[in-house]
């Protein structure tokens, strides 16, 4: 791979003329190109099997879609990076798109990981649990599931069927009697020896068979065991096995689509309408549907279905393994190239197909129908959201409906564990990736709501001024809503004035008489407070904005408080991380016992070296 290069051109050239001049200096190597405007902003990132041929296409004065024509017109310079293969170029293209977010590219905006079910592989009695993120823990993974709710429902039923433990290893080791899950027949009780290692391994094997789609063997085995127990007049055991069979049936019945001829696939369909796209993905694993998720990628100002699907798939499978089969509603631009990229990521062949008939075509049709319905609901919600934002502008005398509303709130208990929070809303609803939490750093401010608000707003706008002084990224708010009255509004006015920000409107939302919802008073600097009609839709909208900020900051406060509850003096000792802290607490029983332990006792603790034992002892027994 060669270094980036910006091709020199005659000054003043733009558009077709510039691209034609640049194309003459290129060769036929594969690679990635970037188009930039006069402000050096990246407009578009593309890949090519032959850079010269691909770029020359843009030099033609006609034959382009309106979107591409606009992009060419804005192009003032280009950058290139050659690669060894076209597959390498495709991979680099998607990495640059994610990093640079060019205006004319298709961009997958939801990059959250999907949950999986993990049966751990590093313990004699494996644990079954939900897992997100990289598959770095030893064990067997099953997924992805469309949502945490889908995983939780399946785990709940699997506990009833296979009785696998869900407790952590630390809890497992510390148990002296079985927990409630054993009492309600959700666990076999391996922590206290109520099931042998061999019998538990049989339960694990059955769970794995089920999650791999081999359910017939599991059902036959359970039915035979129930029959044998009944014949031996072990009616309680037979009833327990009957309940497990019923739970297994419930798991299978909960799957909305169970295709007979498709064991493992992702079904991906795209629907375009009103300049927006919805991509619907159904996950089929072990012959069962494990849920679906809809995505709304940015369409690059007018991309068509093949380009949207190609970009979506390359970005979607960037951080998760693809299935062996991907069924599509529309063909992609380079199916062979995309298939090669995904096959390299999976380590075995990945097939990409656009089925025309049969069961697979029915699966795609169902996904396409869901995509159409989801996009219809989203367009309706956006229209309603647009009306509410327009109502917000009318209520507060804004020049135009705000594109970005930031709502601020604080939370603490008697000054302890003080945090501030910011939530963001816009024409598309909640922008949850933009939410922020602020741990209050100034101890003197903790407990003082006005001082806390000053700190939060100061940190927020100092960062904006540093990172985006020209306000080009869309991260500057059009309206601030503050949970509070005249005092909070005065504090915000003081902060913004000190930073030289004088063009952003802000409003304080006070609880009003008797702190009753519907009687809110709105405060603006230099104006008397006012109220909105009790049944006004915009008032309900403001209440939802405030309540979301309150929910967000309360959650942050509770998490901080819970962490503080589990804190011990061991957290302050250099070299004592979570694992060694846990080992010390398990060995000595409490942090106080660790503080009283002698040096030899500390050296005898598991995982504690002589040097670390001396450091711990010295921490609690400093020499004068």
> Per residue in 122-140, pLDDT tens?
899 999 999 988 888 899 9
The torsion region of residue 356 among left (phi > 0), alpha (psi -120 to 50) and beta comes to: alpha
Using only the alpha carbons of the chain, give its radius of gyration: 30
CATH superfamily of 5-104: GIY-YIG endonuclease (3.40.1440.10)
In the chain, ranges of CATH 3.30.420.340 domains? 265-376, 405-563
Topology (CATH) of 569-620: DNA polymerase; domain 1 (1.10.150)
Of 67-81, 102-116, 329-343, 367-381, the poorest mean pLDDT is in 102-116
Max mean pLDDT among 469-478, 499-508, 534-543 falls in 499-508
Enter the CATH code of domain 265-376: 3.30.420.340
Q: What backbone torsions phi and psi does residue 43 show, to the nearest 5 degrees?
A: -90, -35
Residues 160-176 pLDDT 10s:
888 999 998 888 988 88
Exposure string of 375-401, with b = 16+ CB inside 10 Å and e = fewer, is beebeeebeebeebbebbbebbebeeb
Overall pTM > 0.75: no
Residues 484-503 pLDDT 10s:
999 999 999 999 999 999 99
What pLDDT does residue 361 have?
94
For the four alpha carbons of 253, 259, 265 and 269, in that order, the dihedral sign comes to: negative
Residues 45-70 pLDDT 10s:
999 999 999 999 999 888 888 889 99
Beta bridge partners, 272, equal 277
Q: Which two tokens stand for residue 574?
A: 């250099």
In the chain, ranges of CATH 1.10.150.20 domains? 569-620
3-state secondary structure of 428: coil
Q: Which residue has the tokens 């994610």?
A: 98
Beta bridge partners, 592, equal none
Task: State yes or no: pLDDT of 540 exceeds 80.
Answer: yes
List of residues 6+ apart from 217 with CB closer than 8 A: 209
Angstrom distance (rounded) from CA 594 to CA 581: 10
Residues 462-491 pLDDT 10s:
999 998 888 877 899 999 999 999 999 999
What residue ranges in 148-253 does DSSP mark as E strands?
none
3-state secondary structure of 425: strand
What pLDDT does residue 5 have?
58
Q: What backbone torsions phi and psi does residue 279 show, to the nearest 5 degrees?
A: -110, 120
CB 120 within 8 A of CB 138: yes
CB 312 within 8 A of CB 305: no
What pLDDT does residue 10 have?
65
List of residues 6+ apart from 144 with CB closer than 8 A: 114, 115, 116, 283, 290, 320
What mean pLDDT is reported for the chain?
86
| pLDDT band, residue 415 (cuts 50/70/90) | low
Mean pLDDT of 448-459: 92
Task: State yes or no: pLDDT of 256 exceeds 80.
Answer: no
Counts of helices then strands in the chain (DSSP H, E): 20, 21
Top-level class of domain 405-563:
alpha beta
What pLDDT does residue 247 have?
67
């Amino acid at each position: 791979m060669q270094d980036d290069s910006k091709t020199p051109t005659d000054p003043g050239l733009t558009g077709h003329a510039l691209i034609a001049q640049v194309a003459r200096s290129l060769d036929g190597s594969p690679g990635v190109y970037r188009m930039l405007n006069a402000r050096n902003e990246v407009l578009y990132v593309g890949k090519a099997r032959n850079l010269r041929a691909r770029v020359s296409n843009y030099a033609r004065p006609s034959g382009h879609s309106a979107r591409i024509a606009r992009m060419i017109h804005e192009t003032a310079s280009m950058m290139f990076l050659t690669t060894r293969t076209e597959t390498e170029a495709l991979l680099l293209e998607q990495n640059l798109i994610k990093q640079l977010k060019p205006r004319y590219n298709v961009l997958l905006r939801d990059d959250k990981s999907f949950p999986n079910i993990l049966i751990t592989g590093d313990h004699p009695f494996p644990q079954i649990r939900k897992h997100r993120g990289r598959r770095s823990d030893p064990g067997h993974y099953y997924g992805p599931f469309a949502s945490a709710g889908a995983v939780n429902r399946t785990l709940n039923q699997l506990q009833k069927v296979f009785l696998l433990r869900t407790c952590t290893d630390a809890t497992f080791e510390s148990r002296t009697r079985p927990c409630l899950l054993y009492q309600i027949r959700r666990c076999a009780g391996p922590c206290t020896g109520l099931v042998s290692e061999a019998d538990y391994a049989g339960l694990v094997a059955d769970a794995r068979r089920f999650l791999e789609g081999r359910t017939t063997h599991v059902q036959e085995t359970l039915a035979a065991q129930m029959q044998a127990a009944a014949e031996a007049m072990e009616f309680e055991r037979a009833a327990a096995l009957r309940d497990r069979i019923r739970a297994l049936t419930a798991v299978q019945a909960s799957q909305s689509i169970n295709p007979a001829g498709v064991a493992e696939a992702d079904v991906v369909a795209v629907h375009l309408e009103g300049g927006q796209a919805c991509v619907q993905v159904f996950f089929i694993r072990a012959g069962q549907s494990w849920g679906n998720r809809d995505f709304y990628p940015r369409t690059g100002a007018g991309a068509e279905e093949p380009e949207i699907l190609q970009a979506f798939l390359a970005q979607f499978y960037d951080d998760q393994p693809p299935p062996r089969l991907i069924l599509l509603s529309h063909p992609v631009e380079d199916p062979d190239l995309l298939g090669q990229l995904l096959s390299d990521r999976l380590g075995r062949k990945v097939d990409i197909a656009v089925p025309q008939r049969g069961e697979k075509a029915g699966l795609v049709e169902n996904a396409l129908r869901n995509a159409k319905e989801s996009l219809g609901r989203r367009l309706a919600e956006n229209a309603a959201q647009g009306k509410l934002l327009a109502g917000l502008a009318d209520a507060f005398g804004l020049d135009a409906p705000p594109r970005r509303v930031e709502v601020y709130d604080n939370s603490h208990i008697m000054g302890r564990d003080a945090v501030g929070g910011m939530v963001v809303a816009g024409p598309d609803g909640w922008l949850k990736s933009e939410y922020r939490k602020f741990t209050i750093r100034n101890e003197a401010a903790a407990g003082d709501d006005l001082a806390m608000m000053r700190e939060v707003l100061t940190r927020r706008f100092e960062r904006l001024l540093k990172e985006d002084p020209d306000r080009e990224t869309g991260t500057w708010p059009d309206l601030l809503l503050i949970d509070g009255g005249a005092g909070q509004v005065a504090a915000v006015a003081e902060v913004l004035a000190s930073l030289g920000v004088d063009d952003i409107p802000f409003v304080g939302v006070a609880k009003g008489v008797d702190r009753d919802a519907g009687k809110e008073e709105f405060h603006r600097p230099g104006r008397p407070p006012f109220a909105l009609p009790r049944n006004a839709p915009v008032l309900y909208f403001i209440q939802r904005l405030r309540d979301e900020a309150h929910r967000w900051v309360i959650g942050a406060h509770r998490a901080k408080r819970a962490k503080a509850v589990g804190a011990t003096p061991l957290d302050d000792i250099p070299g004592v991380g979570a694992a060694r802290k846990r080992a010390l607490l398990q060995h000595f029983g409490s942090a106080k016992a660790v503080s009283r332990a002698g040096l030899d006792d500390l050296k005898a603790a598991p995982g504690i070296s002589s040097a670390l034992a001396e450091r711990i002892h010295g921490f609690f027994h400093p020499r004068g």
